Amino acid sequence: MRWWDQAYGWERETIWPRRLHLVAGGDAGGELERWRIVGRDAVVFPEVVAVADALLDPGMAELVWVDSGAGRPRALPADGMFCRRLGERVGRAWLGPLVATDHGGPLIAWMGAVIRKRRGAGGPPGYADDPWWVRREHQPVTMAGRLRVLGKEKRAPGSGRMWRAAVPPEQRAQISSLVDGAQEQLIQLRGAQTGSSADVSQHLLRILSHSADLIEKALQHTVVAAVNAGVPPQDVVRWAKLPPGPLADALKAYQDAGDG
């Protein structure tokens, strides 16, 4: 279901739009948002079955283990064999790299649980290590719930300033993905301080650097989303504690243009 929200930004995705229009009787037209809610389950059903079949395949779990570096832990690569093969199994060979970089999604969480279980390393206290456990924020919202939100946003005055109404779903999903991804990467550091100084240093620094990069990207995307949603740029700069640099300069120029 997470892919359904992200598909807005998949330029090469043609299957789901075609199916959605067929479900809508030929053309979703001006009711696209409503039909995306009503028709979602029917449109994505074949891919849901294909993904479930892949995750139950021991051979696919073995690919996850190999991608993780097996006995020599490393960050999951963007061109990993598991994600490439998964893309092929859902009929979209181009999807692999996109899936691999959805760092905070339920699929990456599943991969992380598989890796930790294979290594015999659990997560922090209270963290679920069951590969089939899905975080509440990753669980799909019911059709009724989405329709209620859609109706409320259309009726309420000034609803365009509400975050969910003002920020496109793919952009919200991207921010959540980056934040969750940083968390998932940091969890991989549990019990990592065993071994030679060189090995431990390399592992810690690589994952910490990758996590910091994800947080930096999440900050940038959130800043852009906030400004586009109508939040005053000077407030965005202050809340984000942005140091002097291209992003802060761009926001200042944006504010100056608005004042002029």
**Residue appearing with tokens 């243009």:** 257
- Three-state DSSP at 238 gives helix
- E strand or H helix that includes residue 2: helix 2-6
pLDDT tens, residue by residue, 132-187: 888 777 777 778 877 777 777 666 554 345 677 677 777 887 888 788 888 877 87
Q: What is the pLDDT of residue 127?
A: 54
Backbone angles phi, psi at 11, to 5 degrees: -65, -30
pLDDT tens, residue by residue, 1-30: 788 888 877 889 999 999 999 998 888 877
- For residue 91, give both structure tokens: 């009929």
Angle at 11 between CA 9 and CA 17, to 5 degrees: 85
Q: What is the pLDDT of residue 28?
A: 81
Q: What is the pLDDT of residue 167?
A: 79
pLDDT tens, residue by residue, 91-134: 999 999 888 888 778 898 899 889 888 887 655 555 556 788 88
Most confident of 69-78, 152-161, 186-195: 69-78
Let me know how long the chain is: 260
What lies within 8 Å, CB to CB, of 23 at 6+ separation is 35, 38, 39, 42, 43
Q: What is the pLDDT of residue 58?
A: 95
- CA dist 242 → 17, 167, 222, 236 (Å): 39, 21, 12, 9
pLDDT tens, residue by residue, 41-67: 999 999 999 999 999 999 999 999 999
Instruction: Look at 194 and 22; give whichever has higher pLDDT.
Output: 22
- For residue 63, give both structure tokens: 């690919």
Quickly count: other Cβ atoms within 10 Å of residue 67's Cβ: 21
- CA dist 210 → 72, 161, 231 (Å): 17, 33, 29
Q: What is the pLDDT of residue 15?
A: 94
**63: number of CA atoms within 13 Å, CB side?**
17
**Residue appearing with tokens 């300069």:** 249
Give the C-alpha separation, 170 to 154, whole Å: 19
Give the C-alpha separation, 258 to 252, whole Å: 10
DSSP count for the chain of H helices, then E strands: 14, 0
pLDDT tens, residue by residue, 220-248: 889 888 888 778 888 888 888 877 676 66
Q: What is the pLDDT of residue 159?
A: 38
Q: What is the pLDDT of residue 258?
A: 54
